[in-house]
A and B are shown apart, each in its own frame.
Chain A
Amino acid sequence: MKLDLILRVTTKLLLPFILMFALYVQFHGDFGPGGGFQAGAITAAMIFLYSITYGLAAAQKAVPPGIAQKMIPLGVLIYAGVGVVAMFKGGQFLNYSVLTDDAPHAQALGILLVESGVFITVAGTFISIFYAFAGRGR
């Protein structure tokens, strides 16, 4: 039981830092390497770590499978929604320059929204796939 104890305590200490790092990578994608895909993968890896150390039931209480499954189309909806809003405001599909008055800042706003949509879809997909594989046990 002693080895198990070291793993559990260390995992519990590390998990918030992993989530913080994932959010940092997501929002600093404009200034350094990063972006939606990397952040989604790191968030999913955090849930994997929690599930491997504490069991599948504990991880499913933290992030229920229903919520993870609803996250998958939500991200695609946000992405396509930004494009449709741009169409309503007078530009073409996914033309971010018409979102606000100032064209370069509108581009930055569009990129921020789009990357967050990508983050939600990627994290939801990998967590749902992991739940599907792990819940199929013998």
Chain B
Amino acid sequence: MVLLTLMAAITIGIVRIRNLFGVVVLSSIYSFLMASVLIVLDAVDVAMTEAAIGAGISTVLMLGALYLTKTNESDPVYSPIPALLIAFATAGFLAFGTVDLPPFGNPANPIHHHVANYYIENSIQQTTIENIVTSVLASYRGFDTLGETAVVFTAGIGVLLLLRGRRKPKIVKDQEPQNEA
């Protein structure tokens, strides 16, 4: 599909470009294209989340971090050949693994037979909620969502601990700067 080709082209841009500001803008475009691909694949909830979080929150956070550090990447010191070899070897192994996958979009795939049927058939009469993804997320698998909310909580607390104190001048010797509460 055209969208997937565009995503691959943008990825090549992200790898090659040295100006970090351009990289952040390209990654925001990439998130938007990913949201479009997800809509084509019938994943509307995930597409909305990816658009809101990937293209909105993630871009602003990266721009904030760039504001506090520098905006250009230095030239590489090591040769890129070993990394390229690792990349190609990994790609070869993954391609070898995809040979046995069932055909795309076939309703007779084994993934559609076990739990998903139960959720689709029983969601309305057990929870009166028409969006199956919401009912699975909040009721059938509610414990996982509690863990996910705890992860967001931990990330917020961690960033506040790291960044909330007043900024001290750069210390030459090896000392831990104290944070003002």
Contact = CB atoms under 8 A, between A and B. Distances in A.
Contact flag (A, B; Cβ within 8 A): yes
Given A34-B131, A111-B139, 9 more contacts: A83-B146, A107-B128, A108-B128, A111-B134, A114-B142, A129-B155, A129-B156, A133-B64, A133-B65
B148 to A, nearest CB: 8
B172 interface: no
Interface stretch (B10-18, B49-57, B74-82): B49-57
B127 A41 contact: no
Interface in B112-166: 125-131, 133-135, 137-139, 142-143, 145-146, 149-150, 152-153, 155-157, 159-160, 162-164
B89 interface: no
A125 B152 contact: yes
Contact of B135 (A83, A105, A111, A133): A111
12 contacts: A29-B131, A30-B130, A30-B131, A34-B134, A72-B156, A94-B146, A125-B152, A125-B153, A125-B156, A128-B156, A133-B68, A137-B68
Interface in A78-120: 79-80, 83, 94, 96, 103-105, 107-108, 110-111, 114-115, 117-118
B40 interface: no
B60 interface: yes
B167 interface: yes
A121 B131 CA distance: 22
B91 interface: no
Contacts, number: 144
A17 B159 CA distance: 30
Contacts of A129: 61, 155-156, 159-160
Interface string B22-37: 0000000000000000
Interface of A: 25, 29-35, 37-38, 41-42, 44-45, 48, 69, 72-73, 75-76, 79-80, 83, 94, 96, 103-105, 107-108, 110-111, 114-115, 117-118, 121-122, 124-126, 128-130, 132-134, 136-138
Given A124-B156, A130-B60, A132-B159, A45 B52 contact: yes
Contacts of A103: 126
A124 to B, nearest CB: 7
B9 interface: no
Contacts of A128: 156, 159-160
A136 B167 contact: yes
B160 A115 contact: no
Contacts of A69: 160
B156 A33 contact: no
